[in-house]
Every structure is written in structure tokens, then in C-alpha cells.
Amino acid sequence: MVIALIACGVMAISGINPWLVLVLLVVWSGSLILAAVTPPPAAPPPRRSAFSEASISELIEHSSTPLLMTNRNRVSIANEAARRVLGNHIIDQDVRVAFRHPEAVALLQRDGPGSATIHGLARRKDIYLMNRQVMDERFAIIELVNQTTEAQVSRAHTDFVANASHELRTPLASIIGYVETLQDDGDSVPQATRKKFLDTIQAEATRLQSLVSDLMSLSRVEAEKHEEPDEQVALKQLIETAARDAAGLERNAQIAFDCTEDVVVQGDERQLEQLVRNLVDNALKYGAPGAVVSISLDRPEANRARLRVTDQGEGIAPEHLPFLTRRFYRTDPGRSRAYGGTGLGLAIVKHIVERHRGLLDISSELGRGTTVEIRLPISLSA
Amino acid sequence: MGRKYYDGTVQVMAEHTVKAFDEDITRLRGLIAEMGGLAEMSIQEALDAMINGDEELAAGVVARDKKIDVLEAEVDKLAVRIIALRAPMADDLREVIAALKIAGVVERIGDYSKNIAKRVDRIEGRKHFEPLTLLPAMGEIAAEMVHDVLTAYAARDPVLAREVIATDNKVDAFYNSIFRNVVSFMVENPATISSAAQILFVARNLERIGDHATNVAEMVHFAATGNYPPDEDR
């Protein structure tokens, strides 16, 4: 400024047009004034909420729980899990497109937070718990909790208890019936009939006993399911003993055992014995009477032992195969009971195989017979 | 559409009408989904009521039908308003027309469920009435079709729509087999003819529900692709 004044003074003295000097002075000092004043603060950025849509989206994207954010009546964000359940199309759609179940619609139209259980959200048989948290008058967060498995587990549990009670009651009913008959008019019953009654009572009592012991082993195997078995078991001897044991003296000749090499696996000796017993027992029971049951043990891969039990029975229809290891599942209930089966044999086998990290495979051809194949990992350290 | 800011303002004013149209279509689709959800629930509950003889549940289904009717009227009003005010073209027009037709069909599906529910108290001796056991499997397939077609509509998925169309054969086959079964049951048990006849009507209703789901599937296919699915699927 001072420099500008002095310069203009010099110019005026040196005889330059005073008007020109004046204009120069005004422009010069004016520009200096403009430059000196700090520019007015820029308009403050539009006030954003503490969160932005992008940051929320990033935050919830990888959560394994399905999460959605709604903006008024639209879905504005849905994380990966939610898109997997409801489909990719729901983004930016009306929330009712994502949740059309009447209970869900009622929940969405409510002002405050809340939750509802939705049957048949994405698939017809699934069950989800839907939690809705309202953030403000525009935004709400919806969380979905899949309860399908829980419902199935609790249902399986109820079914099991119902089945088990039913199975226990049936032999008891006939035992009680026959005992009552013998008590009431035992003297008038001919000797032969009385013998028949007593035999039935004994057969039913035996069945009850084996059912209870099967139930106990099943629950024991299930309880130990997550503990790795730690014994070194040589399979050849074990299989042979268990198979002969299952066959008993009178059916011993029906067993053909073929073993190329002995294999040692890490396992639970008692359980593996039971596994073989159950398989051989099944094969003898459902195979053709008198026909040979062949058992073989080999080692098709370096780290797997393979046990096969093959019968020559009438085979199992393919539609039954997926359910054979279910508890109390029977392809032919009448026949199974006649043989004293408990309906638990293969369920126990399955659990034992699972505990040994093995594989169970059942193949069957109608009219030809059934082969049960079990592969067990071999402990290479042994 | 312009960049949407968090406070909801849209930057580009020229696209205002597009946004309004988009808002209307979204609402329309939401209404249809809501109707569908109600209809779906009605089928399930009508069947449950029929099989267990639950008259209270049946009354709930009958009452729900009113709600479906109200929603249909709302869809009609909104669709007509969109056509009148926004004059949609091409795929937008297809969308609106499809919504209009689908709403009508979903309403019919609700009616059939109501009809099933109304027959609940006309079945006598329910406990030992064999023909009842034929219904759940058929009802399951019909309900599945409705569920899938609504999902196909929501996702604009022509592939799923065609799957639904293909399933209709199963429902028809079921209907024929139930018909034969019930007729022979009537011959053997003339005393239960009036109840058995009700079962025939219920099966007929389920079969019609399947047909209507197929219709919706065709419209979904049309709205998504611009043409009706080829004949071999039908």
C-alpha cells in the first residue's frame, strides 16, 4: 500500500497524466485490499448424520446374519447374507417385495421396533425370526435369525421320544397281556398253550432288553461323538471275533471272511466290535436263509481301510436307502419286529462311523442283496 | 435417476417425473407382494383348517379375503392412475398391465382358499375319513407353486416362472388321481357321499389355484421378457 502511494507520487511528480496516475492508484490499492481480506468462509458442507449409507453398508456387508436397512418403504441396504436369503432383486424395492408374509407386513407397518416369527420367508418350510429396530422416522434396521434348524432339532427330539416310548410300549403290552391271562385262568390253559405264552413273554422281554441296551449304546456313542477315539485297533482279529459272536454257533458256517492284510486303525475297540456285530447281524437277519454272508477287509487306498459286508437277500428298494440310518426307520416294520430288530442298529453304526471320521455307504440291488461298505482312516503313525 | 443424497434430495430436477413414476411402480409392486403374502397364507391355513377341522382358523381365512379384496381395489386404482398421469411406455407399460392382471388373479387365488375354508364344517366324521389324507400332498404342491410364482414376480425371474408352469402338470395329475380315488370311495361308502363330494370340490379348488399360479407365471414371464413362454411348457 505504502509502496503504491510512493510509486504513484513519483509518477505524478514526474509529469505523467494525473488522471492516469489516479486510476492506477485506485486499481493497485483496490487489488491489494481485495487480496488482504480473507475470503468469506466457504458454505458449510450440508449437515450429514454421523453415519452415511456407504459406511453402514460396509459395516454390515460381511456379517453372517442377514441384515437390511430400510428407508421409508424401500430396502436401501441388504448385506450379503440377506441377499443370499431373499435374492439380489430386493435392493431399492418396496420392503413388501422382500417380506410379503402378512406377519412381516404388519411388523413393517408398525411405528416402533418389534419382532415377528415368519414361517416360509424364502422357502416354504423355513422359519425366521425377524427383528426390526427403528432408527428415526425414515430408517429402520431389520435383522433375520434363521430358526429352521432349531425347529427341526427340537422336532427330531420330540419324534425320538415319541418313537422310543412307542417301541418300548409295544412289547410291554403283550407281556402284560399274556401274564394277566396266565394269572387269571392259568389253570384252565392247556400246557402247550401256556408254554407258547411263556415263550412269547420271553421273546418280548428279550426284545425289550435289547432295545434298552441299544438305546443306551446309542446315547453313549452320541455323547462321545466329539471325542476322538485313541486306541490302536487291529481290525482283522476284531472283525473275525465280532462276526462269529454275532452269528452265534448255529449260523457260524454262513460267514465267509476274506482278509488280505491286517489293518490297524485308531479307534474305539468296543464300538468297532459293536459296529461289526450290528452289520453282520443285519446281513444274517435280512439275507436269504442259509445263504452266505461275505465279509471282507482290505486297503484300497494307502490311508483307508475298507470293510464290506455283503448279503444275498432280497435287497432294499432305492427309495428307502436315504433313511436307513434314521432311528426306528424300518423298510418293513412287521418283518423287522419278527426278527427282534430294534430299528436302531444302523443308527448306531452311523454314529460310530462318524466318530471314527469314516464313510458309510450302502448299496443294494433288489433281488440280489445289499452291501454295506465302511471306510475308516488308517492311523499312519502305527 | 440422479444421485440420491442421504437427505433424499435428488440432484437432477429434470428427472423428477422419473422418480415419481419409479415411486409409483415400487408401491404397486409392494401392494402385489402384500396381496400375494396374504393369499399364500390363506392357502396354507385353509388346508390346515380343512385337515384338522379347525373352524376358527377357517373363519380367519374367510375374514382375510376381505383384506385381499381391499388391496386389489387399491392396486387397480394405482395402476389406472399411473397409466392416466404418467402414460408409461414399453417395459414400464408391460409392468403396469402385468400388475393389474396379476392382482386380479391373486384375488381369485384368495377366493379359492376362502372357498376351501368355507367347506371345513361340512365334512362329517373327520377322524376316520380317508379321502382327507389325499389333500395335504396336493395342497403342498399348489402352495409351493404360488410361493414360487410370487418370488418369480418379485425377482422378475422368467426362469423360475417357467418352472412354475412346468409344475402345473403335477397338480393336474394329482387332481385326476384324487378324483378317481374319491369316486371309488363314494361307491364303497355311500353314507359319506356328501362329505366326499366336499373333498372333490376342495381338490378342484386346489387345481384351480395351480392353474392361476400358472397364469401369473405367464404374466411374470411376459413382464420380464416381453413375450409369453413357449407352448411346450404349458
Nearest neighbour of A49 by CB, restricted to B6, B151, B154: B6
* Length of chain B measured in residues: 234
Above pLDDT 70, what percent of chain B? 91
Least confident of A96-105, B126-135, B140-149: B126-135
Contacts with B66 from chain A: Cβ below 8 Å: none
**What distance in Å separates the CA atoms of residue A344 and residue A277, rounded to the nearest whole number?**
13
pLDDT tens string for chain A (382 positions)?
Answer: 666 667 656 666 776 777 777 776 777 776 766 666 655 555 555 555 566 778 888 888 888 899 999 988 889 889 999 998 888 888 888 889 889 999 898 898 888 888 999 888 888 888 999 999 988 888 899 999 998 888 888 888 888 888 888 888 888 998 999 998 888 876 788 888 888 889 989 988 988 888 898 888 888 888 888 888 888 888 888 998 888 888 888 888 888 888 878 888 888 888 999 999 999 988 888 888 888 899 999 888 888 899 999 998 888 888 888 888 888 887 777 776 677 677 888 989 999 998 888 999 999 888 888 999 999 988 665 4
Cβ(A179)–Cβ(A201) under 8 Å? Answer: yes
pLDDT of amino acid B30: 92
Instruction: With CA atoms as reference, report the closest residue to A51 among A135, A142, A145.
Output: A135
Both A142 and A66 in a single domain?
A: yes
Question: Is residue A43 domain-resident?
Answer: no
Quick one: A128 and A176 in the same domain? Answer: no
As a whole number of angstroms, the distance between CA A379 and CA B211 comes to 60
Is A308 part of any domain?
A: yes
Write down which residue in A146, A170, A196 finishes a domain. Answer: A146
Alpha carbon dihedral A275, A281, A283, A286, in 10-degree steps, equals -140
d(CA A360, CA A279): 12
Any domain includes A177: yes
- Here the CATH number for the domain that contains residue A70 is 3.30.450.20
Q: Which three cell numbers stand for residue A299?
A: 486297503
Q: What is the mean pLDDT of residues B106-129?
A: 88
Domain shared by A242 and A355, yes or no: yes
- Sorted by where each starts, the structural domains of chain B and their CATH numbers stand as 13-233 (1.20.58.220)
For residues B225 and B156, give the distance between their C-alpha atoms in angstroms, rounded to a whole number: 9
Q: Mean pLDDT of all residues in chain B?
A: 86
Question: A266: helix, coil or strand?
Answer: strand
Q: Let me know if residue A113 belongs to a domain.
A: yes
Are residues B27 and A94, on separate chains, in Cβ contact within 8 Å? yes
Same-domain check for residues A166 and A133: no
Tell me the C-alpha distance between A172 and B118, whole Å: 45
Question: Whose CA is closest to A349, among A280, A263, A250?
Answer: A280
Short-list A303, A300, A295, A292, CA closest to A259:
A295
Instruction: Show which of A205, A223, A241 is a domain's final residue.
Output: A223
d(CA A186, CA A192) in angstroms, rounded, equals 12
Please check the confidence at residue B232 and state whether its pLDDT lies above 70.
Answer: no
Residues of chain A that touch chain B, judged by Cβ-Cβ distance less than 8 Å: 46, 48-49, 52-53, 73-74, 87-90, 92-102, 104-105, 120, 122, 124, 138
Phi-psi region of B225 (alpha: psi -120 to 50; beta: other; left: phi over 0): alpha
CATH of the domain at A200: 1.10.287.130
Name the phi and psi angles at B128, rounded to 5: -115, 30
Domain shared by A11 and A57, yes or no: no
In angstroms, the CA A100 to CA A106 distance is 10
Tell me, what's the pLDDT at B4? 44
Give the whole-angstrom CA distance, residue B20 versus residue A79. 27
Contact residues on chain A for B6, CB-CB shorter than 8 A: 48-49, 52-53
The pLDDT value recorded for residue B2 is 42
pLDDT of residue B13: 45
**Is residue A162 located within the same domain as residue A113?**
no
* Cβ pair A102:B37 closer than 8 A: yes
CA distance A52 to A353: 52
Cβ-defined contact of B144 to A102 (cutoff 8 Å): no
C-alpha cell at B202: 376342495
pLDDT for A380 equals: 64
Helix (H, G, I), strand (E, B) or coil at A63: coil
CATH of the domain at A253: 3.30.565.10
Q: Are residues A81 and A99 in the same domain?
A: yes
For residues A101 and A130, what is the distance between their CA atoms, to the nearest angstrom? Answer: 11
DSSP symbol at B226:
S
pLDDT of residue A160: 84
Same domain flag for A103 and A159: no
Q: How far is CA B169 from CA B147, B207, B210, B234, in A?
A: 17, 10, 9, 8
> From the candidates B4, B29, B34, B153, which should be mutated to test the interface with A, based on the most A CB atoms within 10 A?
B34
Q: What is the mean pLDDT of residues B106-116?
A: 94
A127 and A62 share one domain: yes
Closest CA of chain B from A53, distance in Å = 7
Cell of A334: 412287521
- Are A166 and A136 in the same domain? no
Three-state secondary structure call for residue A127 = strand
**pLDDT band at residue B168 under the 50/70/90 scheme:** very high
**Is A38 inside any structural domain?**
no
Grid cell 449260523 in the structure block, residue: A251
User: How many independent structural domains does chain A possess?
Assistant: 4
pLDDT confidence of residue A162: 86
Task: Indicate if A370 and A249 belong to the same structural domain.
Answer: yes
The secondary structure of B54-70 as a DSSP string is -HHHHHHHHHHHHHHHH
Which of A53, A60, A8 is closest to A30 using CA atoms?
Answer: A8
In-domain check, residue A270: yes
In angstroms, the separation between the Cα of residue A261 and the nearest Cα of chain B is: 52
Q: Are A137 and A160 contained in the same domain?
A: no
Looking at residue B231, its pLDDT comes to 67
Among A223, A239, A271, the domain boundary falls at: A223
CA distance A284 to A290: 8
Task: Measure the CA dihedral B11/B13/B17/B19, to 10°.
Answer: 0
Backbone angles phi, psi at A331, to 5 degrees: -75, -30
Q: At B49, which helix (H) or strand (E)?
A: helix B16-52
Radius of gyration of chain B measured on its C-alpha atoms? 21
Half-sphere exposure of B134 (CA within 13 A, CB side): 24
ipTM of the prediction: 0.82
CA–CA distance, B24 with B2 (Å, rounded to integer):
17
- Structural domain of A298: 231-377
Write the DSSP string, A94-120.
Answer: BHHHH--SHHHHHHHHSSS-EEEEEES
DSSP letter string, B157-203: -HHHHHHHHHHHHHHHHHHHHHHHHHHHHHHH-GGGHHHHHHHHHHH
Distance of CA B77 to the CA centre of its chain: 20
DSSP per position, A160-207: HHHHHHHHHHHHHHHHHHHHHHHHHHTTTS-HHHHHHHHHHHHHHHHH
Q: How confident is the model at residue B14, as a pLDDT? A: 47
Is residue B203 within 8 Å of B196, Cβ to Cβ? no
3-state class (DSSP) for residue B156: coil
